[in-house]
């Protein structure tokens, strides 16, 4: 069995490659820079999905990594005799695009799922909630600089998921028949407000951190300062606003599939506390 992993050096792809290697599977990892991918020595690292697909039995589809090649890659998989596609989508894939900030960064969650479903091959679509590492980019510099974390909507909530949990579910989707034909919403074990997540980080670090709600225009400006397009801030604010009256959805799919609890936000912060201190 040979499995192709696109986005192989990303936050989901890298632990997925490790999961598959540990299962004894031959992996072809797609990376734009094979010479610096830093993946296990027994992984075949190639610079394009087109080169990786011939002879493969399954493909993990990361739409951001594939970009404009997404449709062509699915078509090639069908022609080359691939039997299964596992798509990395998102829990909000059915929402209006104006509430999907990741689209401005290249994610095509709706399309990757649709292409997999319509391919005629066996398919699984993983629909994770917000990645736990997203809060590193938004908050870590602020926490290193002081005790205030500024952002929108203190009462808005997420059920952040640890990327290695997504990878473990993806490995099961690729290696077993248990999840075929399912669109699976994956979340962390608990919905937490922005203020509560900052409290968790403070407790782990032994600091009195506070979340300070700021006007949405300042939020937009901060995202632009971090290198995000203006549309990202608008979509992020709109997405969070939907949770002010109804908390973020929490599902039990991770424990049902993996036979253990989903990793908590607190545990992840404790294991990566250096990100917020160095």
Cα distances (angstroms) measured from residue 206 to each of 144, 199, 203, 278: 13, 10, 5, 15
Domain ranges (residues) in the chain: 2-128+162-186+248-263
Tell me the pLDDT tens digit for each residue of 152-164: 999 999 999 999 9
Please state the rounded mean pLDDT for residues 57-73.
Answer: 97
In this predicted structure, the answer to whether residue 177 has a pLDDT above a threshold of 90 is: yes
In this predicted structure, the answer to whether residue 34 has a pLDDT above a threshold of 90 is: no
Give the pLDDT confidence score for residue 149 in this predicted structure.
Answer: 96
Global pTM reads 0.96
Distance CA 147, CA 166 (A): 31
3-state secondary structure of 194: helix
Tell me the pLDDT tens digit for each residue of 122-140: 999 999 999 999 999 889 9
Task: Select from 3.30.1330.10, 3.40.50.880, 3.40.50.720, 3.30.1360.230 the CATH code of 2-128+162-186+248-263.
Answer: 3.40.50.720
**Are the C-beta atoms of 195 and 155 separated by less than 8 Å?**
yes
Please provide residue 274's backbone torsions phi and psi, each rounded to the nearest 5 degrees: -60, -25
CB count in 10 Å sphere of residue 16: 30
**Are the C-beta atoms of 63 and 37 separated by less than 8 Å?**
no
Please state the rounded mean pLDDT for residues 215-232.
Answer: 90
pLDDT band at 256 (very low <50, low <70, confident <90, very high): very high
Give the pLDDT confidence score for residue 35 in this predicted structure.
Answer: 79
In this predicted structure, the answer to whether residue 36 has a pLDDT above a threshold of 80 is: no
**Are the C-beta atoms of 62 and 56 separated by less than 8 Å?**
no
Give the pLDDT confidence score for residue 32 in this predicted structure.
Answer: 86
């Amino acid at each position: 069995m040979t499995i192709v992993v696109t986005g192989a050096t990303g936050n989901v792809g890298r632990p997925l490659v490790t999961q598959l290697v540990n299962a004894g599977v031959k992996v072809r990892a797609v990376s734009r820079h094979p010479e610096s991918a830093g993946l296990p020595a027994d992984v075949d690292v190639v610079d394009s999905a087109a080169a990786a697909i011939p002879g493969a039995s399954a493909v993990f589809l990361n739409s951001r990594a594939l970009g404009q090649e997404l449709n062509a890659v699915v078509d090639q998989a069908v022609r080359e005799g691939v039997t299964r596609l596992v798509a990395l989508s998102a829990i909000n894939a059915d929402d209006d695009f104006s509430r999907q900030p990741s689209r401005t960064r290249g994610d095509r969650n709706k399309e990757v799922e649709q292409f997999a479903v319509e391919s005629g091959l066996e398919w699984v679509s993983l629909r994770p909630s917000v990645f736990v590492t997203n809060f590193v980019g938004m908050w870590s510099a602020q926490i290193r600089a002081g005790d205030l974390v500024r952002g929108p909507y203190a009462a808005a909530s997420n059920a952040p998921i640890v990327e290695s949990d997504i990878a473990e579910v993806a490995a099961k989707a690729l290696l077993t028949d248990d999840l075929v034909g399912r669109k699976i919403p994956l979340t962390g074990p608990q919905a937490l407000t922005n203020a509560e997540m900052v409290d968790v980080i403070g407790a782990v670090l032994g600091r009195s951190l506070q979340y300070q709600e700021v006007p949405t225009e300042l939020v937009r400006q901060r995202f632009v300062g971090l290198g995000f397009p203006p549309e990202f801030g608008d979509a992020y604010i709109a997405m969070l606003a939907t949770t002010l009256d109804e908390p973020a959805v929490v599902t039990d799919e991770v424990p049902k599939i993996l036979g253990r609890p989903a990793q908590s936000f607190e545990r992840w912060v404790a294991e990566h506390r250096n990100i917020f201190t160095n």
